[in-house]
């Protein structure tokens, strides 16, 4: 690639400052499209044909004096990474990068609902007007109820309390504002989480799935937390080469591209190794001429004598 020496930090900083972050965002979306096709039939632990998304955000703290454009509080700056994760393959399908002040619930306005799909989210996204819009678009949601929810029970279904379920109810909202924003029926499920010794109350607009499956869907939301933890630990999105908004967004989109690209490699090469192991091998062998499959599996790879060139191919 023409690199004859060490690349300085300032060179990377200048590159991230000057190149439009949308280039990397578009590239990431292309990779995401490829990855979703590869993982579309994967099992994610729940017997469900529909697409299931987990929606959440993570905050990356920044120094106020260095990143004044992202002011969050009096003494610090921050950016938020809002992510919609497809649980089949844990592929991020929607990413919105904002300053730390943007409330999570506002991101629902940016998402185009897919009819028939499930959106799993925590209480930070509990806004009945926005949830009703999801319902009217034919999508399903699973979220947590707040303790002060005003409702009237219309019907109760029998539950197996040995499974942790405590109730499965059809309800209507009775607080004037909430009832106006969400005039339809809701399903309220109370579940005791024995692992954490905690009672959880779920709200959903799905009335067909077993109540225990709804509880399992909410538990699967943890995958988006693991995604955030993974990219923070193994990719560079806690410290940045540049200080402008463009530089920060560029670095985050590059990190997302790397994550998705590793997921594509894992699937296409049918590798058993974890994403982290594959990433580690790539990081120390990216310029090696040894075929990557051979490095990962210790298998010899036959290369056609008619397909040998001086430059290694990055893509097919």
The DSSP annotation for the chain comes to: ----SPPPHHHHHHHHHHS-HHHHHHHHHHHHHHHHHHHTT---SS---S-EEEEEEEEEEEETTT-GGGB-SSSEEEEEEEEEEETTTTEEEEEEEEETTS-GGGGGGG--PPTT-EEEE-GGG--HHHHHHHHHTT-EEEEEPPTT--EEEEEEE---GGGTEEEEEEEEE-SHHHHHH--S-EEEEEEEETTTTEEEEEEES--SS-HHHHHHHHHTTHHHHHHHHHHHHHSS-SS-S--SHHHHHHHHHHHHHHHHHHHHHHHHTT--S-HHHHHHHHHHHTT-SS-HHHHHH-------GGG--SS--S--
Cα 257 from Cα 239, distance rounded (Å): 17
Note the pTM of the prediction, 2 decimals: 0.86
Task: Provide the token pair at 248.
Answer: 């920060």
Within-domain flag for 299: no
* Model pLDDT, residue 237: 81
* Model pLDDT, residue 12: 60
Phi, psi of 96 (to 5 degrees): -125, 120
Pairing of strands 118-121, 52-63: parallel
Within-domain flag for 227: yes
Within-domain flag for 314: no
Phi, psi of 301 (to 5 degrees): -110, 125
To 5 degrees, how large is the angle CA 12–CA 255–CA 3? 40
Cα 177 from Cα 165, distance rounded (Å): 29
Cα 191 from Cα 216, distance rounded (Å): 10
* Model pLDDT, residue 275: 84
To 5 degrees, how large is the angle CA 61–CA 64–CA 68? 110
Alpha carbon dihedral 135, 53, 160, 171, in 10-degree steps, equals: -20
Q: How many domains does the chain have?
A: 1
* Model pLDDT, residue 120: 98
pLDDT in tens, 98-108: 999 999 999 99
Cα 215 from Cα 189, distance rounded (Å): 8
Within-domain flag for 16: no
Cα 273 from Cα 266, distance rounded (Å): 8
Q: Quote the domain boundaries for residue 158.
A: 21-269
Within-domain flag for 99: yes
In angstroms, the Cα distances linking 179 to 141, 155, 171, 207, 264 are: 18, 18, 11, 19, 45
Within-domain flag for 282: no
CATH of the domain at 139: 3.90.350
Within-domain flag for 281: no
* Model pLDDT, residue 296: 72
List, for the chain, all residue ranges whose pLDDT scores fall below the cut of 70. 1-18, 286-287, 289, 298-316
Contact 166, 191 (CB under 8 A): yes
* Model pLDDT, residue 11: 63
Cα 238 from Cα 115, distance rounded (Å): 36
* Model pLDDT, residue 49: 92
* Model pLDDT, residue 241: 84
In angstroms, the Cα distances linking 124 to 102, 129, 189, 301 are: 12, 14, 18, 50
253, burial (CB in 10 Å: exposed 0-12, middle 13-18, buried 19+)? buried
Beta bridge partners of 84: 55, 94
Task: Provide the token pair at 82.
Answer: 């809002």
Within-domain flag for 34: yes
* Model pLDDT, residue 13: 60
């Amino acid at each position: 690639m023409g690199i004859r020496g060490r690349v300085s930090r300032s060179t990377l900083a200048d590159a991230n400052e000057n190149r439009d972050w949308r280039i990397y965002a578009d590239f990431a979306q292309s990779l995401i499209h490829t990855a979703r096709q590869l993982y579309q039939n994967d099992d994610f632990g729940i017997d469900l044909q529909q697409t299931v998304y987990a929606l959440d955000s993570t905050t990356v703290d920044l120094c106020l004096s260095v990143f004044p454009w992202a002011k969050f509080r009096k003494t610090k700056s921050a950016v938020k990474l809002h992510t919609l994760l497809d649980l089949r393959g844990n592929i991020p399908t929607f990413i919105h990068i904002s300053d730390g002040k943007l409330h999570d619930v506002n991101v629902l306005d940016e998402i185009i609902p897919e009819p028939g799909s499930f959106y799993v989210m925590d209480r930070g996204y509990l806004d009945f007007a926005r949830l009703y819009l999801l319902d009217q678009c034919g999508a399903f949601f699973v979220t947590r109820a707040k303790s002060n929810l005003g409702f009237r029970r219309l019907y109760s279904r029998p539950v197996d309390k040995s499974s942790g379920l405590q109730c499965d109810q059809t309800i209507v909202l009775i607080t004037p504002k909430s009832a106006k924003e969400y005039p339809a029926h809701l399903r309220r499920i109370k579940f005791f989480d024995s692992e954490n010794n905690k009672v959880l109350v779920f709200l959903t607009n799905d009335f067909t799935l077993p109540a225990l499956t709804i509880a399992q869907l909410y538990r699967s939301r943890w995958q988006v937390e693991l995604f955030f933890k993974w990219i923070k630990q193994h990719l560079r999105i806690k410290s940045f080469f540049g200080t402008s908004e463009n530089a920060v967004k560029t670095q985050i989109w590059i990190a997302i591209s790397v994550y998705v690209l590793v997921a594509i490699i894992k699937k296409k090469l049918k590798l058993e190794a974890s994403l982290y192991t594959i990433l580690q091998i790539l990081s120390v062998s990216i310029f090696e001429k040894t075929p990557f499959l051979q490095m990962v599996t210790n298998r010899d790879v036959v290369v056609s004598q008619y397909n040998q060139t001086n430059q290694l191919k990055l893509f097919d």
